Amino acid sequence: MSIKRIVSPKRVQVRAGGRTKKKSAAKRGDVGLSRRLQDLREQVDIVLPEMTARIAALEHMLREKQLCTRQDLIAARAFVRMQEA
């Protein structure tokens, strides 16, 4: 009489369905890259409002100390927009 072994349900699934396929290295890399991109987006979302507030405070101080005119600030903003394009 042979001895019957108890097989775990997990092993039964592997035998029935064959071996599980691993993701290719390219797909794993895409997931990592996607995660890094999402982290970068979150960092930009945090830093951008702070930078905007600091620039506004600097512009306010320049105007208050009468170091530049409103037109100077408008011209500077137009110059930056032109450089971005």
Q: Is residue 76 part of a domain?
A: yes
Would the pLDDT of 32 be above 60?
yes
Would the pLDDT of 13 be above 70?
no
Q: Is residue 1 part of a domain?
A: no
Q: Is residue 2 part of a domain?
A: no
Cα distance between the two ends of the chain: 84
Give the global pTM: 0.55
pLDDT digits (tens, 9 = 90+) for 43-55: 999 999 999 999 9
Number of domains in the chain: 1
Q: Record the tokens describing residue 11, joined without a space.
A: 């092993």
Q: Is residue 12 part of a domain?
A: no
Q: Is residue 33 part of a domain?
A: yes
- Please give the share of the chain, as a percent, with pLDDT higher than 90: 61
CA distance 40 to 13: 40
Q: Is residue 16 part of a domain?
A: no
pLDDT digits (tens, 9 = 90+) for 53-71: 999 999 999 999 999 999 9
pLDDT digits (tens, 9 = 90+) for 15-30: 555 566 666 666 677 8
Q: Is residue 3 part of a domain?
A: no
Q: Is residue 13 part of a domain?
A: no
